[in-house]
Amino acid sequence: MLRGRRIVLGLTGSIAAYKSAYLVRLLTGAGAEVRVVMTPGAKEFITPLTLGTLSGRPVVSELTEDRDAGTWTHHVELGLWGDLILVAPATAHTLSGMAEGRGDSLLLTILLSAKCPVMVAPAMDRDMWLHAATQSNLAALIERGVEVVPPEDGELASGLSGVGRMAEPAHILTHLQHWFSASAPLAGRRALVTAGPTHEPVDAVRFLGNRSSGQMGLALARELAQRGAQVDLVCGPISAEQRDELLAEQSDLSQPLIRLIDVETALEMHAAALESLAREPACDLIIGAAAVADARPAAAIQGKASGSALPEQIDLVRNPDILADLAARRADGCFAIGFSLASDDGLEAAKRKLASKNCDLIVLNTLADKGAGFGHKTNRIRMVWPDNRIDSFELKSKREVAADIIDAYQAQLDPTPASSTTPKK
């Protein structure tokens, strides 16, 4: 949920500022871009050098960058840059300044001019936290839409124990992930994505398959999760590196957005996809991105056959049409997207597939385009619609292609007619 998010991290003068180094590390590790703003008091507890090194960006703290040269920090630009301003730690003094609308520090000035949401993680002694003034300021901020990561109970810098210590960085990260998920455009929707190849056993070591790497399907699952959707990813054999990376991205979430279902054969993918479709809540979106083998050996050889014992010919039987079966059994309102890979132009075949698979959209790519198809990190697609509209796109990374496809799906959810929108080229 944090990949590509822009977060302005504000630090104020609290001993808890030391935790912000860990927080920056967690945020950047989750794929977020972080720019740090420090109040003068924060620099008494941790150095800008530490935070600048961890974030990979210069740290700012003063309204004027160079008084002699007359240059100043563009606070408005920072407020516009971020997807979120997170103040952690947020002292009682800073909460007061935010509630009163003061602009006597660079951080408070940025907060006054920001267009993005604001989140605070308070940090202070127990009695300061419980004081009526602090609670009144907090109530005013919450009423204005400020999100609060509650302080935690534990040992405080004063030697007392109680509520007031800043939430642990890992807890703040989880709060951020859930918050972005809940506010994402596809929050509350469920998608079923098939990805990768299928391997149809000839014997214990040999199989019929294809060169699909699964990159496109995985990119679609990630894009859907980035936008808040719950995703069932029914995935054929992919590399161990791809699988480990996907699981690592989900490891910090208490409720992962991507449910990975490993399969090997077309029959296994068919059964797993139908089981997913039957789950509640009903699917809102089906994407058949898998390169399913059209046929399988009628009878696999038990064990490993020696080279001399391999048959001269293998009888094949057709595999089930997974996408057509899913599209036929989907609930009302569920949108179905299929893929069509051609070795030539492929447009007429894609139009036929749109009808035969009962899909709402076919994504066409062709091996005739350099850099498209199996085994590449890029793809070039055309979107084929039932009204004979064709949207053509340039060669892009598969992550960007996934974004274009999900943009097209989201446009169908928007009351604005799709014909009035211009696809991203």
CB 53 within 8 A of CB 26: no
Annotated active-site residue 358? The verdict is no
Instruction: Read off the amino acid at residue 82.
Output: G
| Residue 165: both structure tokens together | 């210590």
Q: Can you tell me whether residue 299 is helix, strand or coil?
A: coil
The CA dihedral of 281, 282, 284, 288, to the nearest 10 degrees, is 120
| Residue 90: both structure tokens together | 């947020």
Question: Looking at the predicted structure, is the pLDDT value of residue 417 above 50?
Answer: no
Q: So what's the pLDDT on residue 165? A: 92
* Mean pLDDT calculated for residue range 195-208: 93
Strands 84-90 and 6-11: parallel
Residues with Cβ within 8 Å of residue 365, at least 6 apart in sequence: 339, 340, 341, 342, 372, 373, 379, 380, 381, 382
* Mean pLDDT calculated for residue range 235-261: 81
User: 299 to each of 98, 201, 218, 270, 333, how far by Cα in Å?
Assistant: 72, 9, 31, 19, 40
**Which of 182 and 252 is assigned the larger pLDDT?**
182
**What is the C-alpha separation between 37 and 308, in angstroms, rounded?**
71
80: buried, middle or exposed (CB in 10 Å: 19+, 13-18, 0-12)? Answer: middle
* Least confident among 26-30, 236-240, 284-288, 343-347: 343-347
Burial 346-370 (b: 16+ CB within 10 A, else e): bbebbbebbeebebbbbbbbbeebe
Q: So what's the pLDDT on residue 1? A: 67
Q: So what's the pLDDT on residue 422? A: 34
Q: So what's the pLDDT on residue 358? A: 95
Q: In the predicted model, what is the mean pLDDT of the chain?
A: 89
CA 192 to chain centre: 16
Start-end ranges of CATH 3.40.50.10300 in the chain?
Answer: 185-298+315-420
**What is the C-alpha separation between 334 and 101, in angstroms, rounded?**
47
Start-end ranges of CATH 3.40.50.1950 in the chain?
Answer: 6-182
Could you read off the pLDDT of 314-334 as tens digits, one per residue?
A: 999 999 999 999 999 999 999
Give the CA angle between residues 255, 166, 6 to the nearest 5°: 60
* Mean pLDDT calculated for residue range 88-112: 93
Q: So what's the pLDDT on residue 11? A: 96
| Residue 407: both structure tokens together | 């943009």
Instruction: Read off the amino acid at residue 420.
Output: S
DSSP letters along 73-138, please? --HHHHHHH-SEEEEEEE-HHHHHHHHHT--SSHHHHHHHH--S-EEEEE---HHHHHSHHHHHHH
* Mean pLDDT calculated for residue range 373-393: 89
Exactly one of 210, 358, 365, 388 is catalytic; name it.
210
Residues with Cβ within 8 Å of residue 197, at least 6 apart in sequence: 209, 210, 211, 212, 214, 236, 237, 290, 291, 292, 293
Could you read off the pLDDT of 105-161 as tens digits, one per residue?
A: 899 999 998 889 999 999 999 999 999 999 999 999 999 999 999 999 988 887 888
Q: So what's the pLDDT on residue 256? A: 78
| Residue 18: both structure tokens together | 């030391």
Task: Count Cβ atoms below 10 Å from residue 215 Cβ, excluding itself.
Answer: 25
Q: For domain 185-298+315-420, which architecture applies?
A: 3-Layer(aba) Sandwich (3.40)
Strands 295-297 and 200-201: unpaired
| Rounded CA Rg of the chain | 26
CATH number for the region 6-182 comes to 3.40.50.1950
338: buried, middle or exposed (CB in 10 Å: 19+, 13-18, 0-12)? Answer: buried
User: 235 to each of 195, 220, 224, 273, how far by Cα in Å?
Assistant: 5, 12, 15, 10
CA 10 to chain centre: 24
Question: Looking at the predicted structure, is the pLDDT value of residue 177 above 80?
Answer: yes
pTM of the model: 0.70
> What 8-state DSSP symbol labels residue 291?
B
Could you read off the pLDDT of 268-290 as tens digits, one per residue?
A: 999 999 999 999 999 999 999 99
User: 414 to each of 102, 332, 384, 409, how far by Cα in Å?
Assistant: 39, 17, 19, 9
Q: So what's the pLDDT on residue 331? A: 95
* Least confident among 169-173, 178-182, 217-221: 178-182
Phi/psi of residue 133, nearest 5 degrees: -65, -45
Question: Looking at the predicted structure, is the pLDDT value of residue 247 above 90?
Answer: no
* Mean pLDDT calculated for residue range 333-349: 91
